[in-house]
Structure 1
Amino acid sequence: MNRSRAFDLVERARAIAPLIAREADEIERTRRLTPAVVAALIENGLYRALLPQSLGGSEAPIDIFMQMLEEIATADASTAWCLGQCGVCAMIAAWLDHDTAQEIFNTPPGILAWGAIGHAARIVDGGYRVTARWDFASGSRQASWLGAHVRIVNADGTPRKNADSSPEVRTILFPVASAVLHDVWQAIGLAGTGTDSYEVTDLFIPERFTAFRDVPSALREKRPLYRIGTGSTFSLGFAAVSLGVARATLDAAIALARGKHQSLAVSAMRDNGAVQGLIGRTEGDLRAARAYLYATAHAMWRDLSATGEFSPTHRSAVRLAATWTIHQSAKVVDAAYHVAGATAVFRSNPFERRFRDMHAIAQQIQARDTHYEDVGKAILAGH
């Protein structure tokens, strides 16, 4: 897609951010995106940012997708998280035959969500049968289709193997009406994501509704975006969400400090040297984290566009930048929360929910400390 047309996604996100901000309290209360927000995301094509152009999607460059999520996250983290989750799930279309992808993504609302990997699907004539329950399906309450990543087993229960003897894992896809959703998401933050569990019993999955997700040789759409794969795209997208939350929280602290007089203080917060220093250092931390994340994404995209290869080095660089950015964003939110003092603890002010949302983000898989170990191991091995 032409970059100027793709950037329109960022402008559209910016345009609907005020609506999302107005709906944020209701999203938090109901633990679901509101109908008005879902309609705005659909009408503006934001769920289709990473869908192939051959299916009418935007197939946007990765940095445009990241900027789009940042804009939404400044208004509401739960909305941005759902959009990021379902937006990346749509990339599975690049591994499906055209007619199957058309049925899933071009039958309204055309939204796919999935959760954690687990369980097995048994081979039967024409496809697979599965009985299982999965967790962490962010965006499932808006979805028309669900997916799951499962091990494939033969009729006798033995695992089917790939050519390299590793267990075969496929992504299976099925209509949301085929599953039972369990309302379990009572969480400290990202409350509005509806990150619930879902279950199927003896469900038949036709062969064509399965795919080898993130296997380059199985791609039907060969363009650069899909070489990145969903794993690294999740990393970059959710790191961008963390930046949006951090930006909004720090901006709220700056606005507060410009006008607030602390208890027993003679002058306004803006004239307090300690506050000035903390704001300056925190602003530097946030700008540095954002610059690092986007520099990594741009370097990866440049090399990928030139060579067609998403290398282990790129994957490691993305993982490091995304993990570090999420951790830095959490520090920025903590600093902004601290600056706000007692003001920050009240639900009526723009700190408390963002504090909880940011710390929920920092507990997710994309922010695990073990990622540093993985990157360090690769560096020490000379990769």
Structure 2
Amino acid sequence: MSTHETNPLRLPELLAASVRAAAEEMDADRDLPAQLVRELRDSGAFRLLTPEEVGGFEAPLERVLKVYEGFARLDASVAWTVWNANWGFLAALLGEDGAARIWGDGPEPVFANAGQPGMAMVTEEGYRLSGTWQLVSGIDRADWLVVVGVVVADGGPRLTEAGTPDVRLFALSRDQLTVQDTWNVNGMRGTGSNTVVVDSALVPDELVARFDVPARLQRPLYQGFVPALVLPGCSAVVLGVARSAIEEVVSLATTKSTITGGTPAESGRTQALVARSEAALKAARMLLLSAAADMDASGAKGAPATLEQRAALHAAMCHAAEVSREVLVTMYELGGSSSIYRDNPVERLFRDGMVALQHANHSAAFLEAVGRVRFGFDPGVPLF
């Protein structure tokens, strides 16, 4: 295993020059450059949630979100890929044989993941997995793909002891899938979020993990609600993008001339909108980090996250998305005609941020689920 920085919070700063230098290549190739992926991997940026036994940071969720946010202030596509690649916690869920098969003695594995469920048929050798997964970020640079699959039997979903569909995580090697080039978009171009097709791929039992049983490694990070290690990453990314938009507009407003003379920075309206945006963004950030810290605290006590804690995390995610959207629109407007030019950072931040905000984790359905929990109803959303 390669060595990496011991403090994950320093990673964005250490890799800033490489990230900025790759911006144009990312846009042109619609993917992260292979060299940048190697630098991210070797630094440990893909191992934030990975157990210490296999060289990971095993960092608390609150700290991990700060790392995603830090990368997002540099480049949204890089931050998005780092978030999607951080599936090293799988080593805590799999048995020892499965973890050894993925990590072993070779280069550190790079993951991609997809949340839409595929279908898995039980066989004597394990499972036969099939499905089509869209928007699989970083897949062309990944060694392994982790997907959600529903185990089927007798023509329908197999049920668990609790009477719910048997939903599991399946790890596939890169040679077990086909990638379709479908990522033709304006924003977040560097994520390479193409479509993946899997046709009856054999996944042995050792590479299959369950959500609904305790993790093999019973330590704080892995004792809470496993999906919570993944879900809020996109919200940290949009907060970082919105923060950079404010910084860029503040810089622009001190040099740009207005049609009435002076600079936008001298305008009371500009001053008020920037101040309001900054206050709202800081508050949304604090709410998200507080919800994550609450989850971390439960794990430290060996207690699973409660439904109310999970609802609070989703509420913070949706709020972060709403505020970030408002900030991006406001900053784009304040940038005036300068915002439309591709050589202006505000233009890229706006289109990247708007694409990131389209993620399903930010949908109104989750906010409605939070409200249902508050009224004592079932959230009605899978893996809430």
TM range (shorter): over 0.9
Aligned length: 374
Q: What residue number does 1:71 align with? A: 70
Shift of 1:228: 3.4
Cross-structure match for 1:105: 103
Aligned to 1:233: 229
Corresponding residue number in structure 1 for 2:381:
none
Range that drifts further, 161-170 or 48-57: 161-170
Distance in structure 2 (CA, Å) of the matches to 1:228 and 1:356: 35
Identity of aligned residues (%): 28
The answer on whether the counterparts of 1:361 and 1:367 sit within 8 Å (CA) in structure 2 is no
Residues of 1 paired with 2:6 and 2:327: CA distance? 27
Unaligned runs of 5+ in 1: none
Q: Distance in 1 between matches of 2:185 and 2:310?
A: 30
Matched with 2:185 is 187
Q: 1:332 to 1:177 in 2, by over 3 A?
A: same
Instruction: Choose from 294, 304, 311 the match for 2:306.
Output: 311
Matched residue, 1:258 = 254
Distance of 1:310 and 1:6 partners within structure 2: 30
What CA distance in whole angstroms lies between the structure 2 residues aligned with 1:298 and 1:178? 38
Paired residue type of 2:341: F
Displacement, 1:382?
A: 8.1
TM-score where L is the length of structure 2:
0.92
Q: What is the aligned counterpart of 1:339 among 331, 334, 340?
A: 334
1:7 Cα deviation from its structure 2 partner:
7.2
Corresponding residue of 1:161: 159
Task: Tell me if structure 2 keeps the 8 A contact 1:114–1:146.
Answer: yes
Q: Does the CA contact (< 8 Å) of 1:116 and 1:136 recur in 2?
A: no
Q: Which residue pairs with 1:58 in the alignment?
A: 57
Moved more, 202-211 or 341-350: 202-211
**Are the structure 2 counterparts of residues 303 and 162 from structure 1 closer, same or farther at C-alpha, using a change threshold of 3 Å?**
closer
| Superimposed CA distance per residue, residues 117-136 of structure 1 (whole angstroms, 9 cap, x where no aligned partner) | 22311111121123322222
- Is 1:221 the counterpart of 2:220? The answer is no
Task: Provide the secondary structure at the position in 2 that maps to 1:309.
Answer: coil
Kindly provide the amino acid, as one letter, of the partner of residue 233 in structure 1. L
SS of structure 2 residue aligned to 1:259 = coil
Q: Is the 8 A contact 1:32 1:193 kept in 2?
A: yes
After the TM superposition, which segments of 4 or more aligned residues of structure 1 sit over 4 Å from their partners?
none
**Any residues of structure 2 matched to 1:1-383 within 5 Å, and which?**
8-87=7-86, 89-106=87-104, 107-154=106-153, 156-212=154-210, 214-215=211-212, 217-262=213-258, 264-381=259-376
SS at match of 1:200: strand
Question: Which residue identity lines up with residue 261 of structure 1 in the other structure?
Answer: S
Secondary structure of the 2:254 match is: helix
For the 8 Å contact 2:224–2:298, the answer to whether it is kept is: no
Alpha-carbon distance in 2 for matches of 1:120, 1:112: 20
Aligned-residue RMSD, C-alpha: 1.9
Q: What TM-score comes out, normalization by structure 1 length?
A: 0.93
CA distance in 2, matches of 1:304, 1:220: 15
Asked if structure 2 preserves the Cα contact closer than 8 Å seen for 1:51 and 1:90, the reply is yes
The answer to whether the 8 A contact 1:105-1:111 is kept is no
- Structure 1 pair 289–48 and aligned structure 2 pair: CA distance change class (3 A): same
Residues 80-138 of structure 1: per-residue CA shift (max 9 Å, x gap): 00110111x22222110123213213432401212132231111112112332222211
| Contact kept in structure 1, 2:31 and 2:191, CA below 8 Å | yes
Secondary structure in structure 1 of the residue aligned to 2:89? helix
